[in-house]
Structure 1
Amino acid sequence: MPVEQTPHVADREAHVVGGGIAGLAAAAFLIRDGNVPGENVHVYEKLDIVGGAMDGAGDPEEGYVIRGGRMFNFPAYECTWDLFRTIPALEDDSISVKEEMNRFNAKHPSYAEARLIEDGTHLDASQFQLETRHRISLVRLLLTPEERLGDTRIEEWFGDDFFETNFWYVWATIFAFQPWHSVAEVRRYMYRFLHEFPRLHTMEGIDRTKYNQYDSMILPLRRWLEDRGVDFQYDCRVTDMDIVTSRAGRTVERLHCETDGGTERIGVEPTDMVFFTNGSMTDGSDLGAWDEAPETNETGASWELWRSIAADNPGFGDPEVFAGNVQETKWESFTVTLHNTDLFDHIVEFTDEEPGNGLVTYVDSSWLMSTVVAAQPHFANQPDDVKIFWGYALFPDREGDYVEKKMSECTGREILEELCYHLQCADRLPEILEGVDCVPCMMPFITAHFQPRTSGDRPAVVPDSSRNLAFLGQYADLPRDVVFTVEYSVRTAMTAVYELLDLDREIPPVSKHYRKPGVLADAVSASFE
């Protein structure tokens, strides 16, 4: 029997379904590390823009929009920095994106002065308020193997009073955990970021980009890929895949797409590669306006495609675990553009936080609102006399403390009225909101990756039976790393490319900071504050 020959990379096509950071990183690794010609790489994106959750759009006239902001941690983002050390910055291509970030963070270090505020009072967030029983539960969690946790929820592991501690308010609003989320994911986060325990309340370990992540990271990465001939197909929704099963395994033979021109079938050779971002945290998101509330959608294109292929292919995961309960996976953000900077200036004065310092959470807010005032400008096209800030709330279906409506039913104006109540400036509403715009955004799946899960609910990056299909992003399974991070998406991309190309290259290991005696000692000490 003749031996099957591995084709040269120049003869292999790569089909990347989804233009978020995972798909873009896969394209970059294919070219940079796999020597696949750029013109052989095809990226299919349902929107007219790439970047996924790493977004940022708008202008000073129509207003700016950031659905969410990604935070970075230098020692814990090994694959991300491996990539962006080799991508030239957009404004100065003599330095890398990573070097631009290094310089920016040296100039604008994070240090939260008022991490938690209640009734106008700055709480001492360094006092975690953990009791002995809370610390015992945390230690027990660290010592319990993940496979024994199963689909246990956080609220099933800790007592009710744990969720009223400063520690929980700080933890939950940095990482967006809810009591009903997976305690196994909390365990992973504790191991991954144990070195940050003593300074969670100051956020000193957080690195940020010069502008929003779209301008600072996605645009330079897209330019790098375009310069190498990558084929971007926008407004192209992949609706299904023809997957054939044989003794050799399962092979994608065809992609089905919907475009403005109609339906299209794209043939895939057995030696070609398909990379699919199964599920998206910003899928189905909807924007409201100053006088309009956003809608709450129940599904999205990436989830529908995952459902389609998982139904007939055991081992491809269970999307319903993550996308089957929007009430538990949604929250709402809002972006504020200010031509009149009175509100912006008031926030800076009220919180004692200079722009760029950190996240402020209003713990007495029934919505549990938080705001971030980034270093200005936060957009490359933002004029000096225009300011922006961003905020979000974890409980959008609760009635407000000032506005007697659920946040999910509120317009942009009403959300700002509620915020002004907590900023103790509601008596100045007409004047302080003149020349201000607020765009709310409902994201039905923004924390879907934290849903309680068991082994097999997330497919392996390259399932055992797969010959040419790899999964990317937050809903592919990686041991030890943490979801809701750019690092997780980039690591899945590197893993997928190296495995499908059979590259003899080492993937940067997940750092084990928790094994350092000093880190452990400092974390224990912080838990007694």
Structure 2
Amino acid sequence: MNNSHYPATQAAADPARDEAIASGHFYLVGGGIASLAVAAFLIRDADIPGARITILEALDKPGGSLDGAGSPQEGYVVRGGRMLESKYLCTYDLFDSIPTLDGRSSVTKEIFDWNETIRTSSKARFVRDGHREDTPSYGLAETHLLTLGRLSIEPEAMLGDSRIADHFEPDFFETNFWYMWCTTFAFQPWHSAAEFRRYLLRFAHMTSGFNQLHGIMRTVYNQYDSMVRPLRKWLDERGVRFRTNTRVVDLHYDESGELNRVAGIVCEQENRRVEIAVGTQDKVIVTLGSMTAGSSLGGTNQPAVLNHDDSSGAWALWKTIAAGHSEFGHPSVFADHVDESRWLSFTTTLHDRTLFRLVRDLTGNVPGEGGLITFPQSNWLASIVLPHQPHFLGQPKDVEVFWGYGLHIDRPGNFVSKPMAECTGREIMTELLGHLQIQAEAPRILDDAICIPCLMPFITSQFLRRKRGDRPQVAPEGWANLAFVGQFCELPNDVVFTVEYSVRSAQTAVYTLLGLNKSAPAVYKGQHDPRVLYGAVSALHSR
């Protein structure tokens, strides 16, 4: 990829804008992928010196939800794995400018080269009764197909804040299509029908190969090592300032002019409250909310505990600044329904190769090739992913790591009579081995495994029912120096819970706030391609 089709030409002369670019400082609240992308676009496309960009992050390192940490001795942890696909145009535009850690290529080229080497092609999207199911049928009835068709053509505004379950009969949620859909994207029946519709359209081009996960792309390592670390290194080399352990708690405003502006950023740092003065030429870009706020880790012999305390302060900040400012959205819609947004993931570290060998023999896929394996008979609706090894930089050759999660975490297991949310890592592994019908080797695997559960109260909060105005615009109307990025601002047509959404918001914020004559590449709309449409319809009608 290259950037030649996104010219960095500026708009007509604007002295105020030009002065801001020449002398203004940029404060980015939050250190996730959205803020990191903002910093990169400011440097690359607006020639802003890195020394004039400050990232304020409550935690001790940047990366946000794209995390990865641990050791072979204590166990590795990834809270989740984001899928990529070829139409993430903003993401690949950004990372085409970022070298890999070894400097051999760009991150984008590395991703595309890697996925040419190992293409996702699942031979066991489902495992039932210990047996794999190759290319399972979607199992949709005519009524389901008619509803899917209606949702695809009905304007989003007509759906309001309705649930997916408001549009389908209960039997839809027992179809193979739903099991594949909800476990790939983490949808629940009570989630937003409008978001479900966006996904139907956004991924129409992948529907024909959905039952084998064709088109899904992965990074060489976990996304922290493969994406965040190279991007952070690039920003460090250009002098971007990172202020970690700095929690932003409020913004102060000047509302006396024609346009409102942020005049101060209130932070808590080492139990001290300080205010950063924001000059007339400065800009403030805030990441709203956090899907991984309040995450808590358990252990092999300890369950994760539900944690309502958001140490990042992301939700509290949004609620504070939105009070009295409806143009900043309605955070309570997303933050105050933990019972509808939580689920549990787990990361297992193995020093014995038995489990990987047995899963490879069962599925017919080598690690990294098969993608998500779901157990539809699981009361927890559990799924696992065995990535290519090593999954972490520096991971020893004799160590293997895999990840999994469950959607129905309040139901007792099939083999462990406890809800998943209350299980230790060992109990989660016991349940998994039961579904794999691994008996003889189970004690050996269990004694070796380091399984760390992670309970995330807000992980699907971006899917909760919402209506127009609940998510603010990237550039809120009436404000001169403020923009919002991340999963909780509004970007028409694109889909939340993706790296692409965060990067697109960042690109949009930079170009809009600085008045650059540029725009983020348009969202790919495969549903307007007759070949894509024919393939999707044919696949959905197959029995």
Of 426, 444, 462, the residue aligned with 1:449 is 462
Of 518, 521, 527, the residue aligned with 2:534 is 521
Q: Following superposition of structure 1 onto structure 2, how do residues 238-277 of structure 1 map, counting pairs within 5 Å?
A: 238-260=248-270, 262-277=272-287
| 2:483 paired residue number | 470
CA RMSD of aligned residues (A): 1.3
Would you say the 8 A contact 1:125–1:167 is kept in 2?
A: no
Would you say the 8 A contact 1:343–1:433 is kept in 2?
A: no
Of 329, 334, 339, the residue aligned with 1:322 is 334
Partner-residue secondary structure (3-state), 2:253: strand
Q: Following superposition of structure 1 onto structure 2, how do residues 37-48 of structure 1 map, counting pairs within 5 Å?
A: 37-48=49-60
Would you say the 8 A contact 2:508–2:519 is kept in 1?
A: no
Would you say the 8 A contact 1:10–1:37 is kept in 2?
A: no
| 1:368 paired residue number | 381
Q: Following superposition of structure 1 onto structure 2, how do residues 119-518 of structure 1 map, counting pairs within 5 Å?
A: 119-260=129-270, 262-300=272-310, 301-357=313-369, 358-426=371-439, 428-518=441-531
Normalising by structure 1, report the TM-score. 0.97
Q: Does residue 87 of the first structure (1) align with residue 98 of the second (2)? A: yes
Amino acid at match of 1:323: A
Provide the rounded CA distance (Å) in 2 between the counterparts of 1:464 and 1:8. Answer: 19
Provide the rounded CA distance (Å) in 2 between the counterparts of 1:48 and 1:426. Answer: 42
Partner-residue secondary structure (3-state), 1:201: helix
Q: Following superposition of structure 1 onto structure 2, how do residues 5-84 of structure 1 map, counting pairs within 5 Å?
A: 5-6=16-17, 7-74=19-86, 76-84=87-95
Deviation at 1:347, TM superposition (A): 2.0
Provide the rounded CA distance (Å) in 2 between the counterparts of 1:94 and 1:362. Answer: 39
Deviation at 1:511, TM superposition (A): 1.3
Partner-residue secondary structure (3-state), 1:334: strand
Provide the rounded CA distance (Å) in 2 between the counterparts of 1:527 and 1:384. Answer: 42
- Structure 2: runs of 5+ lacking an equivalent: 1-13
Provide the rounded CA distance (Å) in 1 between the counterparts of 2:237 and 2:486. Answer: 24
Deviation at 1:314, TM superposition (A): 1.7
Would you say the 8 A contact 2:125–2:136 is kept in 1?
A: no
Provide the rounded CA distance (Å) in 1 between the counterparts of 2:15 and 2:540. Answer: 58
Partner-residue secondary structure (3-state), 2:16: coil
Q: What is the aligned-residue identity percentage?
A: 49
Deviation at 1:432, TM superposition (A): 1.9
Partner-residue secondary structure (3-state), 1:142: helix
Deviation at 1:346, TM superposition (A): 1.9
Aligned length: 525
Provide the rounded CA distance (Å) in 1 between the counterparts of 2:460 and 2:331. Answer: 14
| 2:4 paired residue number | none
Partner-residue secondary structure (3-state), 1:33: helix
Amino acid at match of 1:225: L
Would you say the 8 A contact 1:270–1:467 is kept in 2?
A: no
Q: Deviations over 1:305-341 (max 9, x none)?
A: 0000001212100111111110100110000000122
Deviation at 1:382, TM superposition (A): 0.6
Partner-residue secondary structure (3-state), 2:273: strand
Provide the rounded CA distance (Å) in 2 between the counterparts of 1:112 and 1:299. Answer: 39
Provide the rounded CA distance (Å) in 2 between the counterparts of 1:344 and 1:521. Answer: 38
Partner-residue secondary structure (3-state), 1:391: strand
After superposition, the Cα gap between the structure-2 partners of 1:424 and 1:470, relative to the gap in structure 1 and judged at 3 Å, is same
Would you say the 8 A contact 2:91–2:500 is kept in 1?
A: yes
Provide the rounded CA distance (Å) in 2 between the counterparts of 1:286 and 1:362. Answer: 25
Deviation at 1:514, TM superposition (A): 1.2
Would you say the 8 A contact 1:243–1:254 is kept in 2?
A: yes
- Structure 1: runs of 5+ lacking an equivalent: none
Would you say the 8 A contact 1:417–1:426 is kept in 2?
A: no
Deviation at 1:435, TM superposition (A): 2.1
Provide the rounded CA distance (Å) in 2 between the counterparts of 1:511 and 1:484. Answer: 17
| 2:5 paired residue number | none
Deviation at 1:351, TM superposition (A): 2.7
Amino acid at match of 2:189: P
Q: Deviations over 1:410-468 (max 9, x none)?
A: 11111111111111124543222222200110111110000011000000001111211
Would you say the 8 A contact 2:384–2:405 is kept in 1?
A: yes
Provide the rounded CA distance (Å) in 2 between the counterparts of 1:371 and 1:322. Answer: 27
Deviation at 1:4, TM superposition (A): 7.4
Deviation at 1:63, TM superposition (A): 1.0
Q: Deviations over 1:460-518 (max 9, x none)?
A: 00111121111101000011110011000000000001111111113211112111111
